[in-house]
Structure 1
Amino acid sequence: MTELVTVSGDRMPVVDVHAHLLLPALHAEVERRAPELVAEAADLERRRNGVESLQVSGAMVGERIPKLTDVGVRLAAMDAQGIDRQWVSVSPNHFYPWAPEGLAVWVAAETNRLIAEHVAHAPDRLTGLGVVPLQHPERIVEYLDDAVLGRGLAGVEISSFAGDVELSDERLEPFWARAAELGCIVFLHPFGCSLDERLDRFYLSNTVGQPTENAVALSHLIFAGVLDRHPGLRIVAAHGGGYLPFAIGRSDRAWRVRPEARRCQHAPSTYLRRLWFDTVVHDPVALRHLVEVAGGSRVLLGSDFPFDMGLDDPVSFVRGADLPGEITQRILGGNADALLQTQVPA
């Protein structure tokens, strides 16, 4: 196996940008503060995911709690995978998109604090991403600053939507502007799927729902002109951007022939090279296509650690995709390091 090296001959670190953390104490406090709302949200999840999938997922997560909470266990697992550094973000069930403002901002502040504490145990190996209360746009900039400036995190993780807030919502303009100004990471990772009960069997809520949510969210960003107005945004899409990179021709067609789809300055496919994507696509052919449409500098190693729908051996997956050696090196670490180079204001 060829080792990654820099131009100076030093070994280049391998970076996983998609790895998760659970915060059980935070969950318990949310349940104490809002038991009725938690029960309503649990009922919605049962309808969306189906009882069978929730039972399987519960057992799977239960087995992996140490990897999701214990820094020592995390580092040992990283060593086994050949990962030098992880970008750590909470599991999306921490987003609480139903939470009223008071609870939502408390969750954001507490999540940012706990993530910072977790990565501080191994700052040479862990990079943290915080959260913002997406369903309350008027509070988002405050908690973006809390994550990046207050807690020293590299950016924030957001969902594909929250309540009535889509990523094209005009109320998010201050957030996009501030994120671009800070040069921080915005990691797009869906929580749930708006197709609800249609996907409640066969684990379709994940296998179909997650790629759908990624594609819808990215399409809102592109068609609304968000990337035109804020070209400095550093948005990383989980799961390879879902279906969008693989059906982008249909978006280009709509942009050419439909006036209501001409809110962005250029054909939608051009914006794929203004975004970044992880490698959680489960198919080497899909990974090669993603590199072709987005560019070799826009794809980052991701694993979805430590969940069962992630990549068990993410490094081997990338190495086995038959990509040019230089692009393989970039994906395994160089692109992620380059993405974090921008200094944030003091």
Structure 2
Amino acid sequence: MNAPTVDVHAHILLPEVEALVAGLPGLAQARALDARRNGAAALAVSGAMVREVVPRATDVTLRLAAMDAQGVDVQLVSPSPSHYHYWADEPTAEKVYRLANEATAAHCAQAPDRLKGLGLVPLQHPDQAVRALEHALDMGLSGVEISSHAPGRELSDPAYEPFWTRAEQTGAILFLHPFGCTLDERLDQWYLSNVVGQPTENAVALSHLIFSGVLDRHQELTLIAAHGGGYLPTHIGRSDHAWSTRSDAGAGCAHLPSSYLGRLYFDSLVHDPHVLRELVRAVGADRVLLGSDFPFDMGTGNPVGALLAARLPDAHFHAVRGGNAAALLRKD
């Protein structure tokens, strides 16, 4: 009950990274794909929203003031997923992750007792992933943030095995946060690219890690799934049924899919107290961490209030509020 209140899902915007990639071959094509997937109306609203939140996402003083207003003691700060730039070639990708790691570390160093950081790895170049992770850790960061996939590669791809191995060896925190959704124009209205796309991408990525046996081979991974893990935790029964019924579904992992949920962590950002209660039931109170998606509009400005609304038992409430995350960060 005396643990600090810890928000594990908070972002930083990095103008340095955007300046680095400005005008490079591939950026225009990536932005065109983003526009096609999101639709013009969503891009217009998102552009205005991002401009409004830039100060809180870049200025440590404003960040700390916002944390104080929310009753948050510690944030685990990760780059906005818009900085992944998985289109970049190898030399550019190395520059991106180094700059992102250094800038995030410098931001957190201004309030080291209250801000912990995560870096980036270029999933589009698996050969760089271990070096990028080690660079982040060398910068004093707690781990790295990854998307749900890279172009042409799922998280189940064998090329990532050295990355999972090194993350497991070091105890690094991996924060799974999708950017974009491959359902493309089917979600290009009403911001469905995020509303439906983000939880879909979470569920798909986690399913790849489970069904492929990645979590069998790397049982000590510390992986936090954003947005409550998407649709997977509350619909895991369908995965269990397939594993039990079909030889193709059960070929890759050793145990029922639901049994792997207790090896993962999930943030609390599900926007519904009933769903949050079900998430805690499905994965265990020791596996849910407070998350806000600070400072973006699809997050919550009152993460503790959202947690209170779930009416969890006191022990569970305090574990999610900060006890679980504080224990993770102490291992860092």
Normalising TM by the smaller chain, what interval? over 0.9
In the alignment, does 2:12 pair up with 1:21?
A: yes
- Equivalents in 1 of 2:287, 2:168: separation in Å? 17
Deviations 1:290-336 (A, max 9, x none): 00010000000000001111011000111121100000000010000
Contact 2:5 / 2:322 at 8 angstroms: preserved in 1?
A: yes
1:249-268 correspondence to structure 2 within 5 Å: 249-262=237-250, 263-268=252-257
Which residue does the alignment assign to 1:98? 87
Question: Aligned residue for 2:118?
Answer: 129
What does 1:80-229 correspond to in 2, within 5 Å? Answer: 80-148=69-137, 150-229=138-217
Listed one character per residue, the Cα deviations across residues 77-132 of structure 1 (whole Å, up to 9, x for unaligned) are 00000000000001101000111111111101111011100000000000000011
Q: How does 1:40-51 map to 2 (within 5 A)?
A: 40-51=29-40
For 2:220, the aligned partner's letter is G
Equivalent position of 2:225 in the other structure: 237
Q: Secondary structure at the match of 1:260?
A: coil
**1:89 aligns to what SS in structure 2?**
strand
Q: Deviations over 1:215-256 (max 9, x none)?
A: 000000000111111111000000000000111111001101
Letter of the 1:25 partner, please give it: E
Q: Distance in 2 between matches of 1:78 and 1:342?
A: 23
2: distance between equivalents of 1:228 and 1:75?
40
Q: Could you say which residue in structure 2 is the equivalent of 1:73?
A: 62
Q: Residues 157-195 of structure 1, C-alpha deviation per residue, up to 9 Å, x if partnerless?
A: 000001112100000000001000001100000010011
One-letter identity of the residue aligned with 2:85: Y
Runs of 5+ in structure 2 lacking a partner? none
What letter is aligned with 2:170? L
Query: Equivalent residue of 1:261, what SS?
Result: coil
SS at match of 1:211: helix
Q: Secondary structure at the match of 2:330?
A: coil
**1:340 CA displacement:** 2.3
Deviation at 1:342, TM superposition (A): 2.7
Cα distance, 1:341 vs structure 2: 3.1
Once the two structures are aligned, what percentage of the paired residues are identical?
A: 59
Amino acid of the structure 1 residue aligned with 2:86: P
Per the alignment, residue 287 of structure 2 pairs with: 298
SS at match of 1:340: helix
CA distance in 2, matches of 1:223, 1:257: 14
Distance 1:339 1:196 in 2: 36
TM-score (norm 2): 0.98
The amino acid across from 1:27 in the alignment is: E
How many residues of Structure 1 are paired with residues of Structure 2 in the alignment? 331
Q: Contact 1:48–1:205 (CA<8 Å) still a contact in 2?
A: yes
- The answer on whether the counterparts of 1:184 and 1:340 sit within 8 Å (CA) in structure 2 is no
Matched, 1:327 2:311: no
User: What is the RMSD of the two structures over their aligned residues, measured on CA atoms?
Assistant: 0.8
Q: Which residue of 1 aligns with 2:22?
A: 31
- Number of the residue aligned with 2:261: 272
Aligned-residue offset at 1:339: 1.4
The runs of at least 4 consecutive aligned structure 1 residues that moved more than 3 Å come to none
Read off the aligned partner of 1:170 and give its amino acid letter: P
